[in-house]
Amino acid sequence: QLNEIISEIRLINSKIAAYIEEIVNNARVLTTTLAMFAVRDLIFNFSFDSVIIDEASMASFPNVLATGACTKKRISMFGDFRQLPPICSLQNECAQKWLARDLFDIAGIKNKIDLGMNDPRVTMLDIQYRMVSEIAAVVNHFAYSGRLKNGNPDRSNQSFNVRNFPPAENNAVVLLDISNLRSACMKKPGENSHSRYNPLSIALTSCLALKASKLGLKNMAVINPYKYHSFITSRLFSDIPRLKGVLAATVHKSQGSEKDCIFFDLTDAWPLDEASMLTGKKSDKALRMINVAISRARGKLVFIADCDSVKNRPIIDRLIDLLHEYGTVLKPSPDDLHALVGNKPFSWLSDWNSTQKSLIEDLENLKCPVAISLPKGFAISPELNDALARHDRNGFAVKIFRHPLDRNSLANPGKFDSTKKGHKAWFWAWLRQKKLYIGSYSTDGAFCLISDFKLMKSFVQPVTGLRYAKQILSVEQIRQLNHIFGTCPNCHAQRKPLHDNKLIKLTCGKNNNCPEVGISLEQLESAIRILDVPCKKCESQAVAKMRKNNTAYMSCPNFNKDCDGWPYYLTDCL
């Protein structure tokens, strides 16, 4: 029977191939990607009178060469060698020479244009209709040596009035210098990752976009150079109803699009002051990427950068000088944030002292475990230390992560479980599943408070390094769980829960000879109570139930009522 099915599939595939061949042979115009052109024999073996290549700056030279072999009369290429080059992950010299350069570069056209010369092989389309004059001036002098002309007067541009939205109303070009906020930038967790992210910058940009959206701005995007930073921003936007349709993307993903308003978040900041993709030695690549980002804007461009941390980087300096010349500059202090972005969806605190007062109030009112990371130079006040001690005495776990060389951060060193593991460049405090504080690397920087359950989920892991559902366990809670799960009768190692499909087992995980046992209803109820296992959707504490086959499982108490969510695994919470 299987052989019959395989034969039928082969027959169907052969018919599909025949239909495709018939369509191609009879087509007057064929549209395809360059990659498909090179790998599909049907297309590659076909002979074309003329080939048109769009977005030619991103076409690798071998692919262009392949199209030339199939063309009788002419190849026309439309592209901008001031925008993104071909993508090439290989770093060896040969690959960079032939795969990472576009045809404009290889043919010598780019070099002639850079020297102010003309080339008979190329025609420049030098009239632009997208951008209002201030944005066009920045783009023109940044990337095109003053060659661009504006096609329409500003007043006829449908995006002209977008300048009236915040920040800096009535300005089409805004440089938002966040140096005074003391935001910190880190690499994505994991080995060999070069992608960066800046939590305070994400929070600030989200507030700016939300404020503009509430005032009626609908067509906007947030662009930045790093995939991980964009991933966090996009996930956050998906949980903010007003921002669900707002594009949060890397520069590469935004090429080809245009929006009324662009927020360009540079991301780079201390302590990652080494060269990045926009501030390093590859100035041509940096210029292309920045040009793509800023030229997406039709009516308003907001460039968000920690200018102090990117000084003396030629390409960035050039852009910042142009933004000063053609736009307006805002350099807010932490005290200015409430007026700049409001207090939604996050609350903003202006310094370390006000953050400590807010934490003390939360510790008095919220009954949950707490974890705090203290950068070097952060010292806990006696009042906060007393509040943490009371929290600890009341049976709630308190963990403090601090810089290994900073011995003065705690009023009573050794009182709480303190470790360098999990320490970050910025301050953070997590009152489990209740509130999340994101801070600066300096006590005089800005601090952000997130109280919304959904929004918190996007930030917990990148900010703290902890999984959202992970419990902050005291020594006593660990002892209780070890007693509940028991030990292996063979090797006497401590058993731990294991989720296997829909079953919850207890296993030592040492070797295949040791038995696995299903968790009992009583054991599961006790573990849920200690770990406070929440539903992923509504945050209600999970309940333990029994199936008809006498296996225990977890469920949301509101399932089939007001919620269709499911609890986190026990292993997520440990």
Among the residue ranges 380-394, 454-468, 556-570, the one predicted with the least confidence is 454-468
Question: Edge-to-edge strands of the sheet including 370-374?
Answer: 347-349, 447-450, 435-438, 428-431, 370-374, 398-402, 417-419
Looking at residue 513, what is its pLDDT? 78
Phi then psi for residue 6, to 5 deg, are -60, -40
Residue 480's H or E segment, with its range, is: helix 475-485
Q: Where does the pLDDT of residue 492 fall: very low under 50, low under 70, confident under 90, or very high at 90 and above? A: confident
Count other Cβ atoms within 10 Å, centred on residue 65. Answer: 12
Please state the rounded mean pLDDT for residues 27-41. 87
Q: What percent of the chain has pLDDT over 70?
A: 94
Helices (H), 1-132: 2-26, 34-39, 41-44, 61-68, 93-98, 103-106, 109-114
Mean pLDDT calculated for residue range 496-525: 85
Retrieve residue 210's tokens: 């939300």
Overall average pLDDT of the 56-84 stretch: 90
pLDDT at 321: 96
539 vs 118: which has the higher pLDDT: 118
pLDDT in tens, 176-189: 999 999 999 988 87
**Residue range 512-522: average pLDDT?**
86
Mean pLDDT of 293-316: 93
Q: In terms of pLDDT, which residue wins out, 475 or 181? A: 181
The closest alpha carbon to 532, from 464, 455, 469, belongs to 469
96 C-beta neighbours (distance < 10 Å), count: 12
Residue 334 pLDDT class (50, 70, 90 cuts): very high
Mean pLDDT of the chain: 88
Residue 392, pLDDT score: 85
pLDDT tens digit sequence for 129-148 = 999 999 999 999 999 989 89
Which of residues 408 and 293 earns the better pLDDT score? Answer: 293
Radius of gyration of the chain (CA): 29
**Strand 552-555, strand 543-546: pairing:** antiparallel
Q: What is the mean pLDDT of residues 335-359?
A: 91
pLDDT tens sequence across 494-507: 989 988 877 898 98
